[in-house]
Chains A and B, each alone.
Chain A
Amino acid sequence: MTGHGITTPGRDFHERTATAVADPVLQKALQNLDRRLRTAGESAAAHPEWKERAAAIRRETLLDLDGWLDRLERSLAARGVEVHRASTPGDARRVILDLARARGARTVVKSKSMATEEIDLGGALEQAGLTSVETDLGEYIVQLAGERPSHMITPAIHKTLPQIRDVLAREAHTDLPVDREALTAWARERLRGEFLRADIGITGVNFAAADTGTLVLVTNEGNGRFCTTLPRMHVVVMPVEKVIPRLADVGVLLPLLTTHATGQALSNYVTMISGPRRAGELDGPDEMHVVFLDNRRRTLLGTTYEEMLACIRCGACLNVCPVYRNVSGHAYDAVYSGPMGKVLTPLLSGGAEGADLPYGSTLCHACSDACPVKIPLSDMILALRADTPERSSPVRRRRRLFWTVWARAWSTPRGYRLTTTLGRMSRGRVPGLRAWTSTRELPRPARVSFRDRWAKEHR
Chain B
Amino acid sequence: MIDALAAGLRANSCTVTGPMNADDARTAIVERVSGLVACTDDIPVPGVVDALLARGLEVLTPDDPRWTARLVDAAVGITGARLAVVQPPAIALAAAPGAPRATSLVPPEHVCVLRVVDVIATFADAMAEIADGELPSALTWIGGPSRTADLEMITTFGVHGPRAVEVVLVS
B-binding residues in A (CB < 8 A):
29, 32-33, 35-36, 135-138, 141, 154-157, 160-161, 164, 180-181, 183-185, 187-188, 191-192, 195-196, 209, 211-212, 214, 220-223, 225-226, 228-230, 246-248, 250-252, 254-255, 262, 264-284
Query: What would 15 more interface pairs be, CB under 8 Å, given A184-B159, A187-B159, A248-B127?
Result: A135-B160, A184-B151, A211-B131, A221-B146, A221-B159, A223-B159, A225-B105, A247-B135, A266-B90, A269-B141, A272-B141, A277-B95, A283-B68, A283-B101, A284-B101
B140 (CB) vs chain A CBs: closest residue: A271
Q: A220-B146, A262-B149 known; A270 and B158 CB under 8 Å?
A: no
Closest-CB distance, B60 to chain A (whole angstroms): 11
User: Is the Cβ of B151 less than 8 Å from the Cβ of A268?
Assistant: no
Contacts of B100 in A (CB 8 A): 281-283
Cβ-defined partner of B135 (8 Å) among A155, A212, A265: A212
Q: A278 and B123: CB pair below 8 A? A: no
Residues on the A chain within 8 Å of B144, using CB: 268
Nearest-CB residue, chain B, relative to A50? B124
Residue of A nearest to B12 (CB): A268
CA distance A404 to B48 in the complex (A): 84
A138 / chain B contacts, CB cutoff of 8 Å: 148, 150
**Separation of A222 and B160 alpha carbons in the complex (Å):** 6
Contacts of B62 in A (CB 8 A): 282
Tell me the nearest residue of chain B to A29, going by C-beta.
B152
Given contacts A247-B127, A281-B96, contact A188 B138 (CB under 8 A): no
Contact between chains at A157 and B153 (CB < 8 Å)? yes
Alpha-carbon separation in the docked complex, A155 to B72 (Å): 29
Q: Which of B126-154 contact A (CB under 8 A)?
A: 126-128, 130-132, 135-154
* Cross-chain contact B138 with A273 (CB below 8 angstroms): yes
Question: In the complex, which of the residues A138, A164, A187, A272 has the most CB atoms of chain B within 10 Å of its own CB atom?
Answer: A272
Produce 1/0 per residue, B93-109, CB < 8 A to A.
Answer: 00111001110010000
Bound Cα distance from A54 to B132, whole angstroms: 20
* Contact partners of B142 in chain A: CB under 8 A: 268-269
Contacts of B88 in A (CB 8 A): 255, 264-266
> Digit string of B38-79 for contact with A (CB within 8 Å is 1, else 0)?
000000000000000000000000100001100010000000
CB–CB B152/A160 < 8 A: yes
Cβ A191 vs Cβ B150 within 8 A: no
How long is the Cα–Cα vector from A54 to B67 in the complex, in angstroms? 42
A275 CB contacts on chain B under 8 angstroms: 137
Min CB distance A354 to B, Å, is 26
**In the assembled complex, B80 has its CB within 8 A of some CB on chain A:** no
In whole angstroms, how far apart are the Cα atoms of A235 and B96 in the complex? Answer: 21
- How distant is the Cα of A262 from the Cα of B87 in the complex, in angstroms? 17
Residues of B within 8 A of A184 (CB): 148, 151, 156-159
List the A side residues contacting B68 at CB < 8 Å.
282-283
Give chain A residues whose Cβ lies under 8 Å from the Cβ of B140: 225, 269-272
21 A-B contact pairs sorted by A residue (CB < 8 Å)? A35-B153, A155-B150, A156-B150, A185-B158, A191-B160, A221-B159, A222-B159, A222-B160, A222-B161, A228-B138, A250-B127, A251-B125, A254-B123, A262-B149, A272-B130, A272-B141, A273-B138, A274-B136, A279-B97, A281-B97, A281-B137
Are A137 and B123 interface neighbours, CB within 8 A?
A: no
Q: How far is the CB of B122 from chain A (nearest CB, A)?
A: 8
Which of chain B's residues have a CB closer than 8 A to the CB of A282?
62, 67-68, 97, 100, 102
Are the C-beta atoms of A248 and B128 separated by less than 8 Å?
yes
Give CA–CA (A272, B92) in the complex, Å: 10
B97 and A280 contacting across the interface, CB-CB below 8 Å: yes
B161 near A221: Cβ-Cβ < 8 Å: yes
- Inside 8 A of A191's CB, which chain B residues have their CB? 160
Please determine whether B130 and A247 come into contact, CB atoms closer than 8 angstroms: yes
Name the CB-closest residue of B to A214: B135
Known: A229-B102, A246-B131. A33 touches B153 (CB 8 A): yes
Q: Shortest Cβ distance from A84 into chain B, in angstroms? A: 21
A137/B148 contact (C-beta < 8 A), A252-B124, A277-B137, A281-B137 known: yes
What residues of chain B lie closer than 8 Å to A276, measured between beta carbons? 137
The 3 closest A-B pairs by CB, nearest first: A222-B161, A265-B88, A280-B97
Which of A135, A180, A196, A273 is close to B156, meaning CB atoms less than 8 Å apart? Answer: A180
Contact A251 B90 (CB under 8 A): no
- Chain A positions within 8 Å of B96 at CB level: 281
Return B63 CB to nearest CB of chain A, in Å: 10
- The CA-CA distance from A247 to B132 in the complex, in Å, is 9
Report the minimum CB–CB distance from B42 to chain A (whole Å).
13
| Chain A residues in 8 Å Cβ range of B139 | 271-272, 274
Residues of B contacting A141 with CB < 8 Å?
150
When C-beta atoms are compared, the residue in chain B nearest to A220 turns out to be B147
Q: Cβ of A266 and Cβ of B141 under 8 Å apart?
A: yes
**Contacts of A271 on B, CB cut-off 8 Å?**
138-141
Residue of A nearest to B132 (CB): A248
Do B143 and A137 have beta carbons less than 8 Å apart? Answer: no
Query: Nearest chain-A residue to B165 (Cβ)?
Result: A268
- Choose among B89, B154, B160 the residue with the greatest number of A CB atoms under 10 Å from its CB: B160
Contacting residues, chain A, for B141 (C-beta < 8 A): 266, 269-272
Q: Is the CB of B138 within 8 A of A251?
A: no
Q: Are B137 and A251 in contact (CB-based, < 8 A)?
A: no
Nearest CB of A to B82, in Å: 11
* Given A184-B151, A222-B159, A255-B88, also A284-B146 (CB < 8 A): no
Q: Does B151 contact A180, Cβ atoms closer than 8 Å?
A: yes
